[in-house]
């Protein structure tokens, strides 16, 4: 079955996470992703362990399945010539070098475009290619300076990062969207000789674009949002509440849900109390609300309340581990994990379901330079067919 990006060649000059996560999405969709790595060392994340797999780090595996690896030394003239030839033949180039680095090797956008006018060239930086070009683009740093840490954590505690490199992940989604949009624009300008373009994304802009209601609140009021722990700044109850045996996540999004919650919790009068009758009132009197609810929830374990609230359409759930999240997804028929080869750990399934072009082929992340010989042979001949 034909996949959406079958036949497209992606030259992946990126490393670490945002870039490789972008290209792994393209690989899932059928593109032939050729990962260019440094001889001897490869992608930085190959050494980011523990934990380890039989071949590499678990970190590396999360963003590099279904790719092919070639090692090229960009300071070597012969290898550099092959890298330029790869960029000339590619439909898409993805890179996250410091701004200007690839230009010095003849691999910048304008230089590649001169020989490959249809190329979609995606640059991923930390803070853009202008005034922030010299700033290092690390996820943790951007979480700090970009405002995410200021709204994450307990009100009386330290600012906290999210438990995953979330800004890298969000940026990879933006980069993938940008690449696909540019490919569509190329197709619209001519099926054979359509023009590509330069797609630029940066971690700071992707973060600001993802802060959603928090950035909207700041722009509307000029007041910085603050840390509220697990509480929501605009909805209540929308937080963790303590039950007899531990916490329960309750996401009560409207007055009707709250009335049902109060009824099955055995305190229907709470929905008629003027302090709690409407969402704005509940947000204003959050402390009193939480105290009243936790008095009721303390009479039974969390799972009892999950079952009780779910039965009347009130969103609620226990705080689970990553393993429990996989188990839940499996019970719901979401098939969250897929095999990628004998002796290899499973991978997380591509998150999107397609009715006519499903993602069905997953391959183990490549060993460093695993495909160097075959890709070198292809780049050294005059035929564009790579397989």
Burial classification of residue 221, based on how many CB atoms lie within 10 Å of its CB (0-12 exposed, 13-18 middle, 19 or more buried): exposed
For 63, phi and psi rounded to 5 degrees? Answer: -130, 15
Cα 282 from Cα 213, distance rounded (Å): 19
| Rounded (5°) CA angle 182-184-188 | 115
From the list 164, 179, 182, the residue with the least C-alpha distance to 33 is 179
Burial classification of residue 385, based on how many CB atoms lie within 10 Å of its CB (0-12 exposed, 13-18 middle, 19 or more buried): exposed
Cα 16 from Cα 46, distance rounded (Å): 9
Evaluate whether 252 touches 264 at the Cβ level (below 8 Å). no
Cα 277 from Cα 274, distance rounded (Å): 5
Q: How far lies 82's CA from each of 44, 170, 229, 240, in Å?
A: 22, 32, 52, 55
For 385, phi and psi rounded to 5 degrees? Answer: -65, 125
Cα 44 from Cα 239, distance rounded (Å): 38
Task: Give the residue carrying structure tokens 């979480």.
Answer: 143
Paired tokens of 204: 């700071």
Evaluate whether 123 touches 95 at the Cβ level (below 8 Å). yes
Cα 7 from Cα 255, distance rounded (Å): 52
From the list 30, 167, 9, the residue with the least C-alpha distance to 91 is 9
Paired tokens of 100: 């200007």
What's the distance, CA 142 to chain centroid? 15
Other Cβ atoms less than 10 A from the Cβ of 20: the count is 28
On the CB side of 6, CA atoms within 13 Å amount to 9
Cα 112 from Cα 103, distance rounded (Å): 9
Report the catalytic residues: 168
């Amino acid at each position: 079955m034909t996949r959406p990006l079958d036949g497209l060649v992606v030259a992946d000059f990126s490393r670490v996470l945002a870039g490789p996560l972008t290209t792994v999405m393209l690989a899932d969709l059928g593109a032939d992703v050729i990962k260019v790595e440094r001889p001897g060392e490869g992608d930085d994340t190959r050494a980011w362990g523990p934990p380890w797999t039989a071949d590499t780090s678990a970190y590396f595996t999360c963003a590099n399945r279904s790719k092919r690896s070639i090692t090229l030394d960009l300071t070597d003239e012969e290898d550099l010539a092959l890298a330029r030839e790869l960029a000339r033949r590619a439909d898409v180039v993805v890179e996250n070098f410091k701004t200007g680095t690839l230009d010095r090797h003849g691999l910048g956008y304008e230089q590649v475009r001169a020989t490959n006018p249809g190329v979609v060239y995606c640059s991923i930086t930390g803070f853009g290619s202008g005034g922030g070009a010299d700033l290092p683009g690390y996820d943790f740093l951007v979480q700090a300076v970009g405002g995410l840490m200021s709204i994450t954590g307990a009100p009386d505690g330290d600012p906290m990062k999210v438990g995953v490199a979330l800004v890298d992940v969000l940026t990879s989604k933006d980069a993938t969207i940008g690449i696909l949009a540019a490919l569509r624009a190329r197709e619209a300008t001519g099926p054979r000789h359509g023009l590509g373009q330069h797609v630029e994304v940066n971690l700071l802009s992707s973060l600001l674009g993802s802060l959603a209601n928090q950035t909207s609140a700041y722009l509307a009021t000029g007041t910085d949002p603050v840390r509220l722990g697990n509480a929501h700044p605009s909805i209540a109850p929308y937080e963790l509440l303590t039950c007899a045996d531990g916490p329960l996540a309750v996401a009560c999004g409207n007055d009707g849900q709250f009335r049902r919650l109060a009824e099955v919790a055995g305190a229907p009068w709470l929905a008629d109390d003027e302090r709690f009758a409407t969402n704005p009132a509940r947000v204003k009197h959050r402390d009193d609300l939480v105290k009243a609810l936790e008095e009721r929830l303390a009479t039974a374990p969390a799972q009892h309340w999950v079952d009780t609230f779910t039965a009347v359409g009130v969103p609620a759930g226990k705080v689970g581990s990553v393993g429990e999240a996989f188990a839940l997804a499996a019970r719901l028929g979401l098939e969250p994990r897929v095999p990628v080869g004998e002796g290899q750990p499973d991978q997380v399934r591509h998150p999107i379901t397609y009715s006519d072009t499903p993602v069905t082929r997953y391959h183990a992340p490549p060993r460093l330079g695993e495909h160097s010989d075959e890709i070198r042979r292809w780049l050294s001949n005059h035929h564009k067919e790579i397989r």
